[in-house]
Amino acid sequence: SRASDEMGYSLPKRVSQYVFLVPGDSAQSATFLFSSVEIIRLGNSFYIDWDRKMYYPLNDTPAQARTTTLNEELGQIKYIFSDKTGTLTQNIMVFSKCSVNKRSYGDVLDVLGYKAELGEKTEPVDFSFNPLADPNFTFWDTGLLEAVKLGDPHVHEFFRLLSLCHTVMSEEKNPGELYYKAQSPDEGALVTAARNFGFVFRSRTPKTITVQELGQPVTYQLLAILDFNNVRKRMSVIVRNHEGQIRLYCKGADTILLERLHPGNQELYNVTTDHLNEYAGEGLRTLVLAYRDLEESYYTSWAERLQRARTISEGREDRVARLYEEVENDMVLLGATAIEDKLQQGVPETIALLTLANIKIWVLTGDKQETAVNIGYSCKMLTDEMTEVFIITGHTVLEVRQELRKAREKMMDSSRSVGNGFTYPEKVAASNLTSVLEAVAGEYALVINGHSLAHALEADMELEFLETACACKAVICCRVTPLQKAQVVELVKKYKKAVTLAIGDGANDVSMIKTAHIGVGISGQEGIQAVLASDYSFSQFKFLQRLLLVHGRWSYLRMCKFLCYFFYKNFAFTLVHFWYGFFSGFSAQTVYDEWFITLYNLVYTALPVLGMSLFDQDVDDRWSLQFPQLYTPGQENLYFNKLEFVKCTLYSVYSSLVLFFVPYGAMSNSVRSDGKAVADYQSFALMAQTCLLIVVSVQMGLDTAYWTAVNQLFIWGSLAMYFAITFTMYSDGTYLIFTASFPFIGTARNTLNQPNVWLAIFLCVTLCVLPVVGFRFVKMQLRPTISDKVLSRVRELEKRPPVPLPKRRLQRSISRRSGYAFSHQHGFGALITSGRNMRPKSPFGIMGSFSPNSEKHKD
């Protein structure tokens, strides 16, 4: 596995250096160890494949474990690197809300007019009046449609702008069946909304736009398209209506457009701003809409100046930008739109759970900063309650370094750990990378652009970037290339002793998935390249919580229990030989029967440990998800490490002393009930091996937290098998057939029928188990671990009757940030007005129809 090869995090690999410390038949022990590990891994992989709660019925896709070597590493994840589009979101834009003339539309209202939750009985708006409506469009506020039908001029102008100010292409394959080809899903959602509310964009030419307004076809002359770019953050069209009036329609970011409004209706400005803040707080993508009427003489002069500016070779872009700035001023506010970039179901809840499990999530996306930040707020990675969100946008090495240092200084100042004079060393040793920054007070987030990330990943700055990012609760890297995604993952792997996981759905995520210790592929709409490169795959991001918090934690816990028990039973088994050597002159004489030595690992103790390692669980899946804190011990590797190995060894030494000297003392100078001596080698060997097997079986019972019929069968069945085989091998018949192989004739029936033998066995079990029970009890009372606390809480909750969940009230968060996000690209306006993307269906497709009977062609 990548985790084991690159970091040494694989438990069986690290244990391989310990297994040969086991005295005795090390080859047999090692063979049993690694064969059992593969069986356990295979079984836990099947659990993932068979988990119905990770099955997605819409596309008939179950979860799939494509490897069997990484299951326990799933319980040790510290960093998750996730793509955005198709992984966190469905890449589907939905027109959710809007603000027109001081009124917000889109909320579901109860009978009293208050905002309510969307319920099963809520009926969507009926668009049956419009034969051209998109049947897939859904809106829940009937008030907006009523305003359209009542002829509200503000609402009409609002949707008129949406039907005109865009670069969408329309195709009508069959009469009444419109298909929109939008450059961005945002534009497609806005034009579709206008279409359903009666303002249907039908067609366009390089010089005209045809719209069907409430059933009436209207053609507008397209005079200019002021195209969108990342600096302007807005786009405009200038059209002339059938009355000859020239009007500019504009849509764009609130931070840009609100500054260009006419200083008129201040009340409308304030109310619309409040609505924008509310939409942004809900994680919606917002745009502001405005218009401006232009005089014929002014437009003619402006168009001439624009034409001259476009013909100048030097400074052309600056001249054109200034003319755009000039005309896009003194506009009248129409309203605002709010689009929901639909998240996959359960994404916010999954991120919240993983965060509580002390897992840090980094989003690496190729989308714009505004889009990525907006999704960050939608999925609750970013919240308005955060102390600060640092945005790194530097274009040079010096700028990026200064921004990173300012971010660290702010975090350190807030935590009061050091003074304002905090400076960061240019280079830090990898072993000393753990910084006090990770314990800063407050919650911070880091957003960094791709061009800044390129500088931050340079050799002399990568440690500064990593320290700053690791101190933040959330990290979003936008406009990053597939190579940069892999570099970020590699950086964390290089300097942080942590298991990493990358999850994505497209071919651009393959490098990131392969670089991380564990790769997860989402089988979505972007092909199967990510799935083929991954170790695990499923259809929805929400299944990640179950993969890690349930299957990953169980796999890690089971593997650790198996390893501890394996070393305990083998050390206890073999160290008895060491103590026996002091009484046998360190000869080659074994303390046990040779057949017991052969069958000990293969038969007597094989099935019980496999049963525990395949079925054991400290709490069920429901409590595992309800208490994600249970995941943290795996991140710190608390269940099997050097300390646990030493404790296991010491306990094995103590048990071996008990298992040797108690039978030895019980046999010395003792007689049977008929007066005959019991102290012979064969009786002692039988008693010692019986004590050993019963003690390790009881220890197995103490380590088992979840009892099933299979566990009961394996433990009791193994003990029953031991006594059945022992009495058979030590019988007279077996001795007569195989005299040389089975010399312990009659030992079982002569020894195990003595009360003092069973009393000695009981004493052995008591002396071996009491220290374990006592130590666990005292530790739980004096120094309980987080697992002890959660398990105690779970036991209390299981005794109580289930409490009905309280009804959730609809809560709105008010945000002071901009909710602008518009996934549009520059250049489509010029493409449309040039006509290069429009292929006429006939020779007269652009110049109009030809008729020989027209007045123009009559003599």
Q: Whose structure tokens read 């046998």?
A: 584
Q: How far is CA 312 from CA 223, 307, 319, 599, 833, in A?
A: 21, 9, 9, 92, 19
Q: Is 604 left (phi over 0), alpha (psi -120 to 50) or beta?
A: alpha
Q: How far is CA 509 from CA 62, 69, 448, 529, in A?
A: 21, 22, 18, 9
What is d(CA 113, CA 123) in angstroms, rounded to the nearest whole number? 16
What is d(CA 18, CA 10) in angstroms, rounded to the nearest whole number? 14
- The residues that bridge with 520 in the sheet, in sequence order, are 503, 536
What is d(CA 828, CA 480) in angstroms, rounded to the nearest whole number? 23
In terms of Cβ atoms closer than 10 Å to its own Cβ (0-12, 13-18, 19+), residue 376 is: buried
Nearest residue to 388 via CA among 822, 820, 84, 817: 817
DSSP strand pairing (518-522 vs 536-538): parallel
- Residue by residue, what is the 3-state secondary structure of 613-633? HHHCCCCCHHHHHHCHHHHHH
What is d(CA 599, CA 32) in angstroms, rounded to the nearest whole number? 12
∠ CA 147-152-155, nearest 5°, is 75
Q: Whose structure tokens read 């293969």?
A: 602
Residue 94 phi/psi, 5° resolution? -130, 130
Contact 658, 692 (CB under 8 A): no
What is d(CA 239, CA 225) in angstroms, rounded to the nearest whole number? 9
Cβ count within 10 A of residue 855: 6
Please, what is the end-to-end C-alpha distance for the chain in angstroms?
A: 88
In terms of Cβ atoms closer than 10 Å to its own Cβ (0-12, 13-18, 19+), residue 271 is: middle
Distance of CA 326 to the CA centre of its chain: 46
Three-state DSSP class for residue 585: coil
Contact 563, 11 (CB under 8 A): yes
Distance of CA 221 to the CA centre of its chain: 49
Active-site hit among 5, 49, 83, 593: 83
- Residues comprising the chain, all counted: 859
Q: How far is CA 156 from CA 197, 633, 853, in A?
A: 9, 60, 39
- The residues that bridge with 671 in the sheet, in sequence order, are 677
Q: Whose structure tokens read 């080698």?
A: 681
83 is catalytic: yes
What is d(CA 833, CA 310) in angstroms, rounded to the nearest whole number? 14
Concatenate the DSSP letters of all residues of 450-468 into one string.
Answer: HHHHHHHTSTTTHHHHHHH
∠ CA 851-852-858, nearest 5°, is 125
Q: Whose structure tokens read 């009372």?
A: 781
Cβ count within 10 A of residue 358: 14
Residue 606 phi/psi, 5° resolution? -75, -50
Concatenate the DSSP letters of all residues of 279-299 into one string.
Answer: HHHTT-EEEEEEEEEE-HHHH
Q: What share of the chain is helix, strand, coil (3-state, %, to 5)?
A: 50, 15, 35
Q: How far is CA 568 from CA 609, 644, 696, in A?
A: 12, 11, 8
Q: What is the DSSP letter of 57?
A: T
Catalytically active residues, by annotation: 83
